[in-house]
Each structure stands twice: as structure tokens, then as C-alpha cells.
Amino acid sequence: MPSPHAKCIGILTSGGDCPGLNAAIRGVAKPAISDFHIEVIGIEKGFRGLVENHARVLHLQDVSGILSLGGTILGTSREKPHKMPLPNGESIDLTSRAVETYNRLGLDCLVCLGGNGTHNIAHSLTKHGLNIIGLPKTIDNDLAETDITFGFDSAASYAAQAIDRLYSTAEAHLRVMVIELMGHNAGWLALHAGVAGGADIILLPEIPYDIDSVCQHLTERRRRGKWFSIVAVAEGAKSKESQAGTSDLEKDQKKKKHKKKDKGEGKGKSEFIGPVSTRVAQEISERLGIETRVTVLGHLQRGGIPTPFDRVLATRFGTYAAEMVAEGKYNQMVCMTGSQVSSVPLDKVAGRTKLVPLDHPLIRSARRVGTNFGD
């Protein structure tokens, strides 16, 4: 085998954590150390660690026994080298410090495990001379140029189980249960968890919902003797009216806000805008008089151990990245197309978000089994 291109690499995890990060770190580091004799340096706390030079050598024992561990042994942060926060609330561009750390550590490549934000930063760092390999992780599954990201399956499985649990209590009380799923501006998680959990209504950011259609669907279910329902709402879901800013509830909220302002109340406080699930539940119960409850699943979707699927995916992505390092194939993100792992140039990924296409086969299947999308 020809001698590997790289002698020393850094690895960091950035953005929100997700199950599978440690499996991917292990997937990169084990072959890099054992097969290619490359030194692996762990950068702690994401890009903050690169700016502030928080780094430690990773030995084989550091990456052993972490396959099924949740979180990340390296820690993470959402900080960007070009916009590091200052105590006075302002920010400063410290990209040059990140570049300095990379050079001081003698890195031939930096492997960045992250989502959209991470890949934007990674791409911009390549313009400063850094060699980068990206690994797609996020529970949102919203990275362009890859069919799947690790972390997504674990989050979707957990969310589907949560819906199963809501099902039995919904049935016992004959209630409407509204469950809010993460996913930022993409509906992948709500769609998959909703279909897997048999949600009756799924509201996605990609399909602005009409509350009349939601209520009509619930009424029809009741007419058919279905006295309880599950509504899965993506955190980024929007009503058709709210896109134009004209829903009754919002008009009401705006009026209240202005009244408070006139009275000088709430000065200095930031306005609380409730989760979309609360709005949906409130409108259902006001319009139909049905008992309705809300569950916001939140960070429970991100914590805990990865599913076997994510362990396998993260291991495949990680080991593929180690091979790329050995070949000197840089400035790419590892990706999955069908069942094939390959890589794609970072500039094809940066600045893009993969939303659920309206003609996605899973939306079609869901409609076929009677799921309503609020449209």
C-alpha cells in the first residue's frame, strides 16, 4: 500500500449533537491510527476549540468502547470562527486564529462532523487553505447531496415510540394529542416519525397548513367513530395564514402585544412566541371543543444511544473518511446515494438545505393510508 497522504489529522464535532457522533469518531480514528498510522487529534467544543486551541491526541483506547455512546466525547458548540461572540453581545472574526491552530498542530486535514452550519464553515475554511472532509450528521436529515445523515434514524425511532405512547393515552381519554417534533425548517423527522407512528395528521414546514382542513379531518374521523387523534407537527410548520401574518389567533396575539406596549408592560423583555404545536392545539380545542393536549418532544430526540442503523451508517461514513484522508481526497463531504457511500465537493453542499419535496413517495404513501397534511 502506498504511504498515506496525511500524517496528522484533526477531528471535531460541531452544531447540535446527535446519536452516532461517537460511532463516527471511532470510524475515522481506528483505521487512521491502526491501518494508516496517522496521528489523530481531537479538537474539543467544535470550532471554538479550533479558535482557542483546545486539542488532545486521540489514542486507540480513547475511541474504544464508544460505538453506542450518545453525545460526543469531543464536546460541541454552535460557534463560528468568523462570528465568535464577545461578552458585550457583539461578535468578532477569529478565522485567522482557527487557521493558526490548524497550522500549529501540523494538521494535513480537519474532519468536521456536522450539519448545514458546520459544512458552511468548513467550506469557507477551505478558502483559507485548510483541507477538510465533512461527515453529514443531524437529526434533521436536511443536508443537501446525501440521502441520509446519521442521527436521523435514532431521532425518528424515538419520536415514533413517543407517538405510540401518546396513542394509548389518547384512546383512553378520547383526546386529540398534538406532538411537536424537531427538524428546524425541514419536515423529514415529523414525516418519518408521523408515518411510523400512524399519526392522523402531519404538519410539515414544506406544506403550509389550513386549520380548517385540519379540523375538518378531525370531524370526519369522529363521524367515523374515531374519537381520538394524533397530530404530528414539525417545529417549523406554518399555517397558510401565518405566512401572510393574518391568522385570527395571531391577530389576537398582536392586539394583546400592542395593548401591553401601550400600557408600558413587558418592557425590556423579549416577546414570548409559543411553539406551533400550542397554536394548533388551541385552535383545535377552540373550534371543535375537543379536549386537546400538547407534547413538545424537544431534546429527548437528540439524546441517548444511536440505533443500530445509525451505528452502521456512522461507521461506514467514518471509515470512508479515513480512506479519503489516506488518499488525500479533500474538501469533500462523505455522502450516501441509495446504498452507496461516496463523497461530494463541499461547494455543492454549502449554503443549501434539503427540504422534503412535495412529491416525495412517503407523502404519497401517507396520503394513501388516510393521513392528512393540513392542505
Q: Which residues are catalytic?
A: 140
CA distance 326 to 320: 10
Signed CA dihedral, 299, 304, 310, 314: sign only? positive
> Least distance to ligand F6P from the beta carbon of 25, Å?
18
Question: In Å, what is the CA distance from 368 to each residue of 91, 189, 193, 216, 372?
Answer: 50, 19, 17, 18, 10
The candidate with the shortest Cα–Cα distance to 21, out of 156, 110, 111, 114, is 114
Using CB positions, name the residue nearest to ligand F6P.
182
Report the residue from 42, 46, 114, 115 that binds ligand F6P according to the rule CB under 6 A: 115
Nearest 5°: the CA angle 182, 51, 55 is 90
The pattern of x and - marking residues 224 through 243 that bind ligand F6P according to CB under 6 A reads -----------x--------
Chain position carrying cell 437529526: 139
Q: How far is the CB of 358 from ligand F6P (least distance, A)?
A: 21
Which stretch, 33-41, 60-68, 136-144, 339-347, contacts ligand F6P (CB under 6 A)?
A: 136-144
Residue partners of 192: CB distance under 8 A and separation at least 6: 152, 156, 160, 362
Binding to ligand F6P by residue 138, rule CB under 6 A? yes
Residue with Cβ nearer ligand F6P (108 or 180): 180
Number of residues that bind ligand F6P (CB under 6 A): 10
Q: Which stretch binds ligand F6P (CB under 6 A): 23-31, 94-102, 181-189, 258-266?
A: 181-189
Query: Which residue in 9, 10, 14, 16 binds ligand F6P (CB under 6 A)?
Result: 16
With a CB cutoff of 8 Å and minimum separation 6, the contacts of 173 are 228, 291
Does position 139 interact with ligand F6P (CB under 6 A)? The reply is yes
Task: Find the shortest distance in angstroms from Cβ 188 to ligand F6P.
Answer: 10
Dist CA 17 CA 302 (whole Å): 7
The span from the CA of 105 to the CA of 101, in Å, is 6
Instruction: List the one residue out of 35, 34, 39 whose CA is nearest residue 11.
Output: 39
Residue selected from 27, 49, 71, 183 as contacting ligand F6P according to rule CB under 6 A:
183
Could you say whether residue 306 binds ligand F6P (CB under 6 A)? Answer: no
Q: Verify binding: residue 182, ligand F6P, rule CB under 6 A.
A: yes
Stretch (H or E) spanning 283: helix 276-288
User: Which range touches ligand F6P (CB under 6 A), out of 98-106, 182-190, 325-333, 339-347?
Assistant: 182-190
Residues 63-102 that bind ligand F6P (CB under 6 A): none
How distant, in Å, are the alpha carbons of 27, 46, 319 from that of 341? Answer: 14, 25, 10
Choose, by CB under 6 A, the member of 48, 119, 184, 192 that binds ligand F6P: 184
Q: Which residues bind ligand F6P (CB under 6 A)?
A: 16, 115, 138-140, 182-184, 235, 302
